[in-house]
Amino acid sequence: MARCLLEIRIFAGLVVGILLGFQCASYSQEPSQSLKEADADYRSGVAALSSNDLETARGDFAKVVRLAPSAEQGHSALGAVLVRLGQINEGIRELEKALAIKANDSSAQLNLALALEQSGQPAKAIPWFIKFEATARIEKHPLSAEVLAAHARALAATHQFSAAAAKMKDAIAQSPRNPELHDELGSIYAQQKDWPNAQRAFDAALREDPNLAMAHLHLALSLQAEQQPGAVDEFTKAYQLGPQNPVIALEFGRFLAASGNDVQAIPVLRRAMELDPRNAEAPYQLGLALQRTNKVDEAIPLLQKAVAADTNDAEVLTNLGMALCQAQRAKEAVPLLQKAVSLTPGNPTAHQNLAASYIQLNQLDDAVSQLREALKLSPDSPQLHYNLGLAFKMQDDASAAIPEFEAAEKLDPTEPEPAYALGLLYLQAGRYEDAARELNASLKLRPENGDGWATLGSVYNNLGKLPEAVSALQEAIRQMPDQPDPRLTLAAVLVKQNQTAEATAERKKAADLMRANMNRQRAEVACHSGTSLLKDGKLDDAIVEFRNALSYDQNYTDAHLGLADALQRQGKLVEAAQERQKAQSSAKQP
């Protein structure tokens, strides 16, 4: 779960109270000019720091370090200022120098602990927090809520969750009305998947500040994890309250996508990308959402960006590979999917995806090889047996395909595809009884399959089961009224039943449909030609082609629209408007 991290705090008071002891008792003579200059620079740095003039303070303390390198106060003060300026690593080095000179410098201990925690080195920070707290107890200095919270974050980052929660509770005791601390306590519980305590802490944060966007986000994530109601409301509130927060946008978009709302997720994920262009996760999630909504051309560059960010992430490689396959770019997909297989050789899905790309390239032997590897890993997968059967079928190897389809059907009798494939193969082999059995089994599971009913009608015709053939073919015609083939088969069956007039009527309907389909194809070819000519600016030629298309099919909507565009470019606005009206009318035609 994303955490709301408190900003690191280096308190000026920890530095201002330190004075260089240049005139200490160890000196028997007057301090040197260098020490006098160092003392003056130190005082100047303290004054600049009290005015929050960090750059001047940095310059002054740098002079102190140069003039008096053995004085720990100079290193301590310079380190603290560098950390506040965001130069964390440089600040850490100076603080370590100060502590090497004087190990019980409490300000250096604290500043080093905070700097290490902020820079992602929690394990190194924890011993310094412990030393600082021990020094504070000896000196009877109370610990601030900010220091306790930073210590708690370091403990949580090293998976010491119980200690982290206890420390954060101490911070809350110091500052009970601080909503961010309650929110951070909830995040610690959430990392342990202690959702009830996490929700109580997030609720406490929201009681203190109902407009704390991150607390709404964290509560939403915990509700989502427990599959409890209310998550969508909390995500929405977080997004409304924190529209400029890239973490909130990313998590909200991810939630919408996981809920099956890719269309709603896409603009939110685009927003997340805009808010944080350097984050590789937002473009990846956006790419997946676009891929799932068949916007593959938009998805591919985003998935490529995700691969560039981590070239060894098998999941990312696979998703890019499958997107390329969707875009008919299987040749580019194969190396990516091969790498995914090499990274996860024990993952049957990786082999299956690579097989899919090989099938698209018609490398069927390679596809079979990958599917066999997948079945070694998952021998009881009905989908793998079905896919291998398809690969064999594409090789016209029915003897190898049939056992695979039979295995798929046995492993999952609720899927209609294996039975349908078996029905077709049995029909090709002349095993009509077997074909009828399998086709019936498939159509019971998926009755909306016009081709299946037409095939079953043909099988029944071959078996001499004419009433059954008529029934199946009539269902095929109902589902596919524009297809002539089922009508031709039905006419043949009717002839066998001595229903000559009915057979003649079916043949006539079939002939009309074939003529209409042929005209439709001619219209499509002419329309494509017109569109190409229009792009080249050849308006007269384009108009001829669009009119040719309409002569074949007067209800061809695209031809009306193309003609309207061409006429408008010629300035014939009234004629163009008429064609657009015809396009609207033809689009309403059944």
Q: Write the DSSP string, 442-477.
A: HHHH----HHHHHHHHHHHHHHT-HHHHHHHHHHHH
433: tokens are: 């009884």
pLDDT digits (tens, 9 = 90+) for 389-400: 999 999 999 999
Task: Give 507's pLDDT tier (boundaries 50, 70, 90).
Answer: very high
CB neighbours of residue 480 within 10 Å: 18
End-to-end CA distance of the chain: 52
20: tokens are: 């260089």
Q: Supply the pLDDT for residue 30.
A: 55
Location of structure tokens 């098998």: 314
Contact predicate 542/568, CB 8 Å: no
Distance CA 194, CA 470 (A): 64
Contact predicate 439/419, CB 8 Å: yes
The SS3 assignment for 279 reads coil
| Interior angle at CA 158, CA 152 and CA 159, nearest 5 | 85
Distance CA 489, CA 479 (A): 15
Task: Give 573's pLDDT tier (boundaries 50, 70, 90).
Answer: confident
Task: Tell me what the pLDDT averaged over the chain comes to.
Answer: 90
Q: What is the DSSP string of 504-550?
A: HHHHHHHHHHHHHHHHHHHHHHHHHHHHHHHHTT-HHHHHHHHHHHH
253: tokens are: 């978009």
- pTM for the full model? 0.70
Location of structure tokens 């046995």: 410
Task: Give 472's pLDDT tier (boundaries 50, 70, 90).
Answer: very high
The ranges assigned to domains in the chain are 514-590
Q: Supply the pLDDT for residue 14.
A: 32
Contact predicate 289/266, CB 8 Å: yes
CB neighbours of residue 197 within 10 Å: 16
Distance CA 77, CA 43 (A): 11
The SS3 assignment for 226 reads coil
425: tokens are: 């193969």
Distance CA 36, CA 143 (A): 35
Q: What is the DSSP string of 28-88?
A: -SPPPHHHHHHHHHHHHHHHHHHTT-HHHHHHHHHHHHHH-TT-HHHHHHHHHHHHHTT-H
Does residue 190 register a pLDDT over 90?
yes
pLDDT digits (tens, 9 = 90+) for 266-284: 999 999 999 999 888 999 9
98: tokens are: 């100060």
Distance CA 174, CA 169 (A): 9
Contact predicate 472/457, CB 8 Å: yes
pLDDT digits (tens, 9 = 90+) for 272-321: 999 999 888 999 999 999 999 989 999 999 999 999 989 999 999 999 99
Q: Supply the pLDDT for residue 493.
A: 96
In the chain, the percentage of residues whose pLDDT exceeds 70 is 94
The upper half-sphere exposure of residue 142, i.e. CA atoms within 13 Å in the direction of its Cβ, equals 8
The SS3 assignment for 77 reads helix
Q: Supply the pLDDT for residue 4.
A: 33
pLDDT digits (tens, 9 = 90+) for 198-216: 999 999 999 999 999 999 9
Distance CA 14, CA 488 (A): 95
Instruction: Give the burial class of 547: count Cβ atoms within 10 A of its Cβ; 0-12 exposed, 13-18 middle, 19 or more buried.
Output: middle
Helix and strand numbers (H, E) in the chain are 32, 0
- Contacting residues for 155 by C-beta, under 8 A, at least 6 apart: 122, 126, 161, 163, 164, 167
Q: With left for phi above 0 and alpha for psi between -120 and 50, is residue 362 left, alpha or beta?
A: left
Cα pseudo-dihedral 296, 298, 301, 303, rounded to 10: -60
Q: What is the DSSP string of 393-437?
A: HHTT-HHHHHHHHHHHHHH-TT-HHHHHHHHHHHHHTT-HHHHHH
- Contacting residues for 532 by C-beta, under 8 A, at least 6 apart: none
Contact predicate 139/106, CB 8 Å: yes
Contact predicate 536/570, CB 8 Å: no
Q: Supply the pLDDT for residue 524.
A: 92
Does residue 544 register a pLDDT over 70?
yes
Contact predicate 419/434, CB 8 Å: no
Does residue 107 register a pLDDT over 80?
yes
Residue 242's nearest CA partner among 199, 277, 212, 210 is: 212
The amino acid occupying position 395 is Q
Q: With left for phi above 0 and alpha for psi between -120 and 50, is residue 160 left, alpha or beta?
A: beta
387: tokens are: 């896919």
Does residue 227 register a pLDDT over 80?
yes
Does residue 8 register a pLDDT over 70?
no
| CATH superfamily, region 514-590 | Tetratricopeptide repeat domain (1.25.40.10)
The amino acid occupying position 60 is D
What radius of gyration, in Å, describes the C-alpha atoms of the chain? 37
287: tokens are: 């790419």
In the chain, the percentage of residues whose pLDDT exceeds 90 is 78
Q: Supply the pLDDT for residue 16.
A: 34
Q: Supply the pLDDT for residue 24.
A: 40
Q: How far is residue 527 from each of residues 481, 558, 568, 576, measured CA to CA in Å?
A: 25, 7, 17, 16
Determine the longest span between alpha carbons in the chain, in angstroms. 134
